[in-house]
Amino acid sequence: MSPDVPERDDTGRVLIFDTTLRDGEQSPGISLNTTEKLEIAHQLARLGVDIIEAGFPIASPGDFEAVQAIARQVQGPVIAGLARANPADIDRAWEAVKDSERPRIHTFVSTSDIHIEHQLQATREDVKGLARASVAQAKALCDDVEFSPMDATRADVEFTAEVLQIALDEGATTINIPDTVGYAMPAEYAAFLTRLYELVPDLHKAVLSTHCHDDLGLAVANSFSGVLAGARQVEGAINGIGERAGNASLEEFVMLLHTRGEELGLHCDVVTTEIARTSRLVSRLTGYVIQPNKAVVGRNAFAHESGIHQDGVLKERTTYEIMDARTVGLDANSLVLGKHSGRHALKQALEDLGYPVDGATLNTAFKRFKELADKKKQVTAMDLEALVTDELRAEIPGYGLEWFEVEASSQRPPHARVGVSTPDGRSIEGSFTGDGPVDAVFRAINAATGIDARLREFRVDAVTGGQDALGEVSVVVELGDPDAAIAHHTPGVLAGERVTGAGQAVATDILEAGGTAYVRALSAAVRRAQLAADAPQEDRAALLSTP
């Protein structure tokens, strides 16, 4: 560094520049209207990004209107508008952002020979002139000017340095080094920045920025490498959207800083607990679905399926987690039951459903669970309730079907009477008519128990063939009432909440199998409601809902 250049104070703070609404919107198939862009921009402000690149105002009247609306309405972050190195673009960008409390003009021109020769059909001298004129024009309008030498990583570093010196001389306050086509490798990108610092000491007066594309899956790695080389602004987009393979994923970069930055003296001011909400909003409004295994915000980012991992996480979360799901605004991690799960996770899942199991019972349940998991991709709470063995049910208080009678006739609706054992050991009776004999049995059970359960699913499968075929009935019931009219029948379920339960039973008589499955489902739902009643408010939803 030359002696007359004051070294910038380096607190290790990395500015987060969000380009979801500009480069992100350049993803094929994404077109956001002003209302949608405003909604995202407000959420980005809540997320605490430092700069929002709101659009490319010359691109269309709609883009101009959106950038202007964001500049006028979104407070907190700097609002930037992009402009090519020409007077019309810069004027239009200024017109759009000038009402912001903190406007920025971001102008760019390529320094790679490929671009200069083929796209701009110009010379290196022309590019120097464009850089000089555009930064000077922008600076006359706005204090905060960012300059980007497009396709820098494929450009001659000495020539790029010359152009940057011009931009700095004209007053650029941020110099951004785009890896426009995602070509660089991390060490190479860092070396490029280091070399620019050597060639252009004045760079220390400005903020150096990264803008990396993900064509080779290296966007976040390159951005981080750039920060290690001295960059203090990182550009990226939520969910990594953007031109072609996209930009550096902002949430990944932010969580990289959050998780590993401290040991390097690096941090940013993003409110990490807003990450999940921002990601969902961008996904919903752009229509770009997030892949399940996407780092930080994918459905599986904090889910564990394999037994060894689940066992570890149950004993101590940090055995297999470097981040806490709650830090990014998600619920705590989830243990997904599947064919790779083990006894520890199954035991925990059954306990969560109100079935404490151990020893031989756990082993029996585990055997049935593995058989089921071989057939199903994911075993849900419903499946678990259904596979709880008869032996186990005998040990856990619940309703039981003691007897039933059904009068069926073609002259009048079928009528059923049932005898039901209660969880506290009493015998109760009820009777009712129904649309069919199975429906009559179910309604008679409701009458006996005083619980107004609603049937949500009913399925009959033949287990064996022939005349004495065993029928397997699966039932799902729902309790609770959004109108609160019958909420008092389901202690633990508040107005507006619902709770479901599943049951299964096998018998040669479908009515018997149906009635038994129904009281089992009822018992499961009541048990869940009781668990919810004792649970802290934040855990209620998970206990009541059925995956």
Ligand X SMILES: CC(C)C(=O)C(=O)O
Ligand Y SMILES: CC(=O)SCCNC(=O)CCNC(=O)[C@H](O)C(C)(C)COP(=O)(O)OP(=O)(O)OC[C@H]1O[C@@H](n2cnc3c(N)ncnc32)[C@H](O)[C@@H]1OP(=O)(O)O
Show binding-site residues for Mn(2+): 23, 211, 213, 247
For 147-216, give the DSSP string: EEEETGGGS-HHHHHHHHHHHHHTT-SEEEEEETTS---HHHHHHHHHHHHHH-GGGGGSEEEEEEB-TT
If one asks whether residue 150 binds ligand X (CB under 6 A), the answer comes out as: yes
Among ligand X, ligand Y, none, residue 347 binds (CB under 5-8 Å by kind):
none
Closest approach, Cβ 180 to ligand X, in A, equals 4
Q: How many CB atoms lie within 10 A of CB 406?
A: 18
Site stretch for ligand X (CB under 6 A), options 59-67, 122-130, 174-182, 376-384: 174-182
Among ligand Y, ligand X, none, residue 109 binds (CB under 5-8 Å by kind):
ligand Y
Among ligand Y, ligand X, none, residue 211 binds (CB under 5-8 Å by kind):
ligand X
Task: Please name the residues in contact with 348: beta carbons below 8 A apart, sequence gap of 6 or more.
Answer: 310, 314, 335
If one asks whether residue 108 binds ligand X (CB under 6 A), the answer comes out as: yes
Residue 136, classed as helix, strand or coil, is: helix
- C-alpha 406 chain-centroid distance: 51
Closest approach, Cβ 268 to ligand Y, in A, equals 23
x/- string (CB under 6 A) for ligand X, residues 129-148?
A: -------------------x
Closest approach, Cβ 503 to ligand Y, in A, equals 57
Closest approach, Cβ 10 to ligand Y, in A, equals 29
> How many angstroms separate the CA atoms of 257 and 266, rounded?
7
Distances (CA, A) of 24 to 55, 100, 238, 296, 367: 10, 21, 8, 18, 48
CB closest to ligand X, residue no:
178
Task: Please name the residues in contact with 71: beta carbons below 8 A apart, sequence gap of 6 or more.
Answer: 54, 79, 81, 96, 97, 98, 99, 100, 103
In 466-492, which positions are buried (b, 16+ CB within 10 angstroms) versus exposed (e)?
Answer: eeeeebbbbbbbbbbbeeeeebebbeb
Structure tokens of 434? 């129904």
Structure tokens of 144? 């905060």
Closest approach, Cβ 32 to ligand Y, in A, equals 13
Torsion of CA 152, 158, 164, 166, to 10 degrees: -140
Closest approach, Cβ 40 to ligand Y, in A, equals 18
Closer residue to ligand Y in complex, CB, 209/272: 209
If one asks whether residue 18 binds ligand X (CB under 6 A), the answer comes out as: no
Q: How much is the CA Rg of the chain, to the nearest whole Å? A: 32
If one asks whether residue 23 binds ligand X (CB under 6 A), the answer comes out as: yes
Site stretch for ligand X (CB under 6 A), options 172-180, 224-232, 249-257, 412-420: 172-180
> How big is the site for ligand X, counted in residues (CB under 6 A)?
9
x/- string (CB under 6 A) for ligand X, residues 192-211?
A: -------------------x
Site stretch for ligand X (CB under 6 A), options 113-121, 173-181, 277-285, 353-361: 173-181
If one asks whether residue 178 binds ligand X (CB under 6 A), the answer comes out as: yes
> How many angstroms separate the CA atoms of 173 and 206, rounded?
5
If one asks whether residue 226 binds ligand X (CB under 6 A), the answer comes out as: no
285: closest CA among 24, 48, 30, 63?
Answer: 30
Closest approach, Cβ 211 to ligand X, in A, equals 5
Among ligand X, ligand Y, none, residue 119 binds (CB under 5-8 Å by kind):
ligand Y
Query: Are 236 and 227 spatial neighbours (Cβ–Cβ below 8 Å)?
Result: no
> How many angstroms separate the CA atoms of 192 and 391, rounded?
69
Annotated binding site: 23, 211, 213, 247
Among ligand X, ligand Y, none, residue 303 binds (CB under 5-8 Å by kind):
none
Instruction: Give the interface with ligand Y as residue ranges (CB under 6 A).
Output: 23, 26, 56, 58-59, 84-86, 108-109, 119-120, 150, 180, 243
Backbone angles phi, psi at 12, to 5 degrees: 80, 10
Closest approach, Cβ 305 to ligand X, in A, equals 37
Closer residue to ligand X in complex, CB, 85/525: 85
Site stretch for ligand X (CB under 6 A), options 175-183, 216-224, 390-398, 405-413: 175-183
Query: Are 310 and 342 spatial neighbours (Cβ–Cβ below 8 Å)?
Result: yes
Amino acid code (one letter) for 336: V
Binding site for ligand X (CB under 6 A): 23, 108, 148, 150, 176, 178, 180, 211, 213
